[in-house]
Amino acid sequence: MVRAAVCGTEGRQFESVPVYQKMNKEKKLSANPPSGFVDRYGNELALKENLIAKIEKNFLKFGFSKLETPSFEISENIGKFLPDEDRPSSGVFGFQEENDSWISLRYDLTAPLARYVSQNYLNISNPFKRFQIGNVWRNEKPGPGRFREFTQADCDIIGSNNLLADAEMCNLLADTLNFCGLEKNQYQIKLSNRKLIQGLIENLKISESKQQLTVLRAIDKLDRVGTDGVKQLLTIGREDKSGDKTVGANLSDYQAEEIVSFINMKSLDEIKSAIPNKLVEDGVDELNKVLDGINYSSNFDQIIFSPEVIRGLEYYDGPIFEANLTFKVKNQKNQEVEFGSVGGGGRYNSLVSRFKKVDLSATGVSIGLDRLLYALVQLNKIEVKNYSPIIICVLDKKYLSNYYELLSQLRNQNIRSEIYLGDSGLKSQLKYADKRSAPAVILCGEDEFKNNKITIKKLNSNLNETSKNLSREEWKKSENTQITCDKENLIDEIKKLI
Amino acid sequence: MVRAAVCGTEGRQFESVPVYQKMNKEKKLSANPPSGFVDRYGNELALKENLIAKIEKNFLKFGFSKLETPSFEISENIGKFLPDEDRPSSGVFGFQEENDSWISLRYDLTAPLARYVSQNYLNISNPFKRFQIGNVWRNEKPGPGRFREFTQADCDIIGSNNLLADAEMCNLLADTLNFCGLEKNQYQIKLSNRKLIQGLIENLKISESKQQLTVLRAIDKLDRVGTDGVKQLLTIGREDKSGDKTVGANLSDYQAEEIVSFINMKSLDEIKSAIPNKLVEDGVDELNKVLDGINYSSNFDQIIFSPEVIRGLEYYDGPIFEANLTFKVKNQKNQEVEFGSVGGGGRYNSLVSRFKKVDLSATGVSIGLDRLLYALVQLNKIEVKNYSPIIICVLDKKYLSNYYELLSQLRNQNIRSEIYLGDSGLKSQLKYADKRSAPAVILCGEDEFKNNKITIKKLNSNLNETSKNLSREEWKKSENTQITCDKENLIDEIKKLI
């Protein structure tokens, strides 16, 4: 017999861990999660899981395979490694290991994918189509509705230069939004190519990379600040209503005008003739091929060319796309909010080459799951199943074996059910059933067991106070929601209720 | 229009994040996950998700509701807070916040539950029955098969002193193991009560708490070191084969004999008469009530009284139980390993009172998911569904619109499918289909489209080399796995294959 840890650490949960010692018994702890983190329970959790299941099903339908990478990556691999700083933790959650190296919680799902592809290059298919749905962590200042842990749903195709792959991504995004419950007129997918703005920047001789980024960032703000705002951000800078000042890109009026004119162009032909540049030409050709691929699908009307789309500043280098909702979303104070996109992506080339001397082209899409969920809830588009059990009340402990017999019958039919396991009387049991949103309780005492009968009381889970101050007799009087049936009809009667 | 973050940080994924800059392009990164963390893909991931789905279904059947707490807790709440140390991170992954407080990744699912119950005390049902399946993190030395991130599946009932709740936990554990594929003779659930050994320790006047812990730890090692080993650990200490020395509890021979005699007792009556003590009496009474509850179920034969069970040293204070496998498990070198338990739990009382001035009694069970999975794989007990898509090969790009038409037909029937999206010819496409374990490829060219036919080639995913060196003509010759049918029969023919 060899002494070895098989799944090792897991086993530790079963060993003795003096976790709860050393606590000062007088001082009570704060019962909050850390700021920026939340608990999920009941309907809120069911809604989210329902959405995840739908998205996963659709990703599978499109031929993607699931990957699960760990929460942690070597910090260097995350990419947000800042060598000047003592702790590479600005924006990420980083830990120093015993050997002084750093590991970090993943910041997105793309860096882990690049790392995985590099490591498994010889064993995976080419192209490699993977999806991952998982949490990511951002060590940023939390605020109302701004979390430090949230869920992303990503699909990527690695190793293909074929522009039909980009079309597939747009189709996937549109199809997934449909599948999750959005009507075709409730969203739009904006499509562009980073080569267009890069070509224009080249023609306008904006060569300094910091200035280029400021230009991209300015265009990216079109939705929020409008054309005039973008113009200010491209030139002298902009002050918002609160007095906050954003530094401008310091372009000349001519340069700014050219860019504003570009972002208002409506067709690829217009751009091609207005901006004579090799990059622009390539970009337009690529987009025409993407549009061909989209044309073959039924999503053509939802996908529109929009030159103002920018997305990840230093990340994408080909076709890019972004899904936006066409309806207004409100916050908890019933105020309309600027909602931003629910998903998007594009083509990127340099991720895998950071690890391996191969240059794999990739295209991917990311769906903001919590954000999409928020919008769907407002549209009342996600139904939740009631997973609450049938509750067998304990009217008299001497009938425990009878109650357990009923329980076995229910559970053998895979019906969610339980015997009340608290220490209180009937009133509390009914209150408990209400709080659990139980579809029904089973109320059996001497009368029932003597006559081989079962009493079932249907509960209206919307009426959370049904049990308040009701005696058992009063309960039984509300005949319309209560039935007494033969014991052998238990399963049939319960199945009618669930 | 109000500018507000709705689901805030989620949106950041769609903004520009300069994540991949600042990398030295010459130095290639290591493509490994950090040590102690693993990627999961393909069958391995499917098996794990399959098992999680089964466990969740069974937990719901027993009337538990799902809770999801965040990855992070305030470090003090984790419980493993060591005030003497500068960084409270021994064993846990802890982060210092900007305000100098500490947060930690959860170490188990019980501390977050206690925190949640305290915070939501007035809104939740009483008793509160929740389950959670999620990852926990241990900042411990990783080793072969010893991970620093792994999955636990926990069920707890909070707020009930009713010993039927403990019986329910044993039944749940047995039922879940059955439901996951174990036969009744492939596992055993050992049941005891911490009050028994506490009563004996009291009678033996072992009053020093450190010595008590050493005694408990010695008994806990019975499986590994045998009766003689336990006796050594209770007295002078023990040296193992490698020469490692474990300090003993320094008991007298009489005390050690009494304890060894205790752990070999087979019945509650025997213990009650051999150890005259109030705690022992209470413990025996409690266990008899638990056994009553188990008696009502069909799991009675799998649950046996075993006084040597100890579990969490300073955690449990009533009935405790532990599931062990009755068959031998082997490691990857085909050596039998000491496998330890696949789950267990017990009654604990002081967790919630750390937060709130209420003393809630609780009982719970935890299943070691990765460990159980490992055992089930050895028994060949988990089947995996093939989620790979049907692949439409691109024989000639001029038929792209025809390929897309076929794709639409398949996807409209929710059949997982794709058009090959790489850049290579047919041989590579077939090789790709093999690597993906695709159930079939669709091979259509001029012949097919002219005659309104479809050629479908069934792939044997066990034969990963089907495509090697085959020309299309050779492919077509292997008639037994390839059919050509009318275009309108596409869906019917494909459905036969999946």
Whole-Å CA distances, B199 to B99, B281, B314, B348, B367: 47, 9, 15, 17, 29
Mutate to test the interface with B, among A1, A2, A3, A6 (most CBs of B within 10 A): A6
- Asked if A428 contacts A421 with a C-beta cutoff of 8 angstroms, the reply is no
User: Does the domain made of B390-495 have the CATH classification 2.70.70.10?
Assistant: no
Output the pLDDT for position B21.
37
| Residue A254 burial (10 A CB sphere; 0-12, 13-18, 19+) | exposed
Gyration radius from chain A CA atoms: 29
Using an 8 Å CB-CB cutoff, list chain B residues near A241. none
ipTM of this model? Answer: 0.87
Which regions of B138-291 does DSSP assign to beta strands (E)? Answer: 149-158, 187-193, 238-239, 245-246
Give the residue, B209 or A190, on which the prediction is more confident. A190
Contact A10 B368 (CB under 8 A): yes
Beta A417-419 vs A390-392: how paired, if at all?
A: parallel
Mutate to test the interface with A, among B17, B124, B434 (most CBs of A within 10 A): B17
Q: Copy the structure tokens of residue B175.
A: 């039922």
DSSP for residue A389: P
Closest CA to B405 of B473, B338, B490: B490
The answer, yes or no, to whether residue A19 has pLDDT greater than 50, is no
The CATH number of the domain covering residues in A42-379 = 3.30.930.10
Using an 8 Å CB-CB cutoff, list chain A residues near B324. none
Beta A362-368 vs A336-337: how paired, if at all?
A: unpaired
CB count within 10 Å of CB A453 equals: 16
How far is A97 from A99, CA to CA, in rounded Å?
5
Whole-Å CA distances, B482 to B393, B396, B441, B455, B472: 14, 20, 10, 7, 12
| Residue A341 burial (10 A CB sphere; 0-12, 13-18, 19+) | buried
Output the pLDDT for position B9.
30
The answer, yes or no, to whether residue A464 has pLDDT greater than 50, is no
Contact A138 B79 (CB under 8 A): no
Contact A126 B432 (CB under 8 A): yes
Whole-Å CA distances, A8 to A103, B45, B80: 21, 18, 21
Q: Where in chain A is the domain with CATH 3.40.50.800?
A: 390-495
- Asked if B197 contacts B216 with a C-beta cutoff of 8 angstroms, the reply is yes
What pTM value is reported for the model? 0.88
Contact A2 B338 (CB under 8 A): yes
DSSP secondary structure of A145-211:
TB-SEEEEEEEEEES---HHHHHHHHHHHHHHHHHTT--GGGEEEEEEEHHHHHHHHHHTT---HHH
- Using CA coordinates, name the residue in chain B closest to A94: B95
Q: Copy the structure tokens of residue B460.
A: 């044997």
How far is B207 from B131, CA to CA, in rounded Å?
37
Sign of CA dihedral A162, A163, A166, A172: negative
Share of residues in chain A with pLDDT > 70 (%): 87
Residue A245 φ then ψ, to 5°: -110, 130
- Could you list the pLDDT tens digit for every one of the 498 residues in chain B? 333 333 333 333 333 333 333 344 456 788 899 999 999 999 889 999 999 999 999 999 999 999 999 999 998 888 654 433 444 456 889 888 888 888 999 999 999 999 999 999 889 999 999 999 999 999 888 877 679 999 999 999 999 999 999 999 999 999 999 999 999 999 999 999 999 999 999 999 999 988 998 999 999 889 889 999 999 999 999 998 888 899 999 999 999 999 999 999 999 999 999 999 999 999 999 999 999 999 888 777 889 999 999 887 667 889 999 999 998 888 878 888 777 789 999 999 877 888 877 778 999 999 999 889 988 988 888 778 889 999 999 999 999 999 999 999 999 999 999 999 999 999 999 999 999 999 999 999 999 999 999 999 998 654 444 445 555 556 555 545 889 999 999 999 999 988
Using an 8 Å CB-CB cutoff, list chain B residues near A411. 61-62, 175
- Asked if B136 contacts B153 with a C-beta cutoff of 8 angstroms, the reply is no
Contact B16 A418 (CB under 8 A): no
CA–CA min distance A443, chain B (Å):
17
Output the pLDDT for position A462.
43
Closest CA to A146 of B6, B103, B15, B105: B6
Of B5, B161, B337, the CB nearest to A2: B337
Contact B411 A357 (CB under 8 A): no
Residue pairs spanning A and B at CB distance below 8 A: 509
Closest CA to B339 of B382, B378, B302: B378
Kindly list the strands in the beta sheet with B65-68, ordered across the sheet, starting from the edge strand earlier in the chain: A40-41, B65-68, B128-137, B149-158, B362-368, B341-348, B319-325, B187-193, B303-305
Of A40, A168, A405, the CB nearest to B68: A40
Closest CA to A407 of B171, B277, B211, B203: B171
Scan for tokens 């106070």, then name that residue: A465
Using an 8 Å CB-CB cutoff, list chain B residues near A16. 216-217, 220, 310-315
- Using CA coordinates, name the residue in chain B closest to A30: B355
Output the pLDDT for position A96.
87
CB count within 10 Å of CB B53 equals: 11
Using an 8 Å CB-CB cutoff, list chain A residues near B190. none
Q: Where in chain B is the domain with CATH 3.30.930.10?
A: 42-379
Using an 8 Å CB-CB cutoff, list chain A residues near B40. 67-68
- Using CA coordinates, name the residue in chain B closest to A142: B9
- Asked if B337 contacts A2 with a C-beta cutoff of 8 angstroms, the reply is yes
Of A69, A164, A421, the CB nearest to B160: A421
What is the pLDDT confidence band of residue A27, given thresholds at 50, 70 and 90? low
CB count within 10 Å of CB B357 equals: 7
Using an 8 Å CB-CB cutoff, list chain B residues near A391. 63
- Using CA coordinates, name the residue in chain B closest to A351: B20
How far is B10 from A151, CA to CA, in rounded Å?
8
Of A25, A108, A162, the CB nearest to B13: A108
- Asked if A37 contacts A149 with a C-beta cutoff of 8 angstroms, the reply is yes
pLDDT (tens digit, 9 = 90+) per residue, B247-283? 999 999 999 999 999 999 999 999 999 999 999 999 9
3 state SS of A11 = helix
Contact B313 A17 (CB under 8 A): yes
Contact A61 B17 (CB under 8 A): no
Closest CA to A170 of A10, A338, A363, A408: A363
Q: Copy the structure tokens of residue A225.
A: 């600040």
pLDDT (tens digit, 9 = 90+) per residue, A216-267? 999 988 988 999 999 999 999 999 888 889 999 999 999 999 999 999 999 9
DSSP for residue A487: G
How far is B307 from A306, CA to CA, in rounded Å?
72
Using an 8 Å CB-CB cutoff, list chain B residues near A70. 33-34, 37-39, 149
Averaged pLDDT for residues A458-482: 58
Closest CA to A191 of A216, A215, A173: A173
| Residue B429 burial (10 A CB sphere; 0-12, 13-18, 19+) | buried
Contact B9 A74 (CB under 8 A): no
CB count within 10 Å of CB A224 equals: 13
Using an 8 Å CB-CB cutoff, list chain A residues near B130. 41
pLDDT (tens digit, 9 = 90+) per residue, A122-159? 899 999 999 999 999 998 888 776 789 999 999 999 99
The answer, yes or no, to whether residue A13 has pLDDT greater than 90, is no
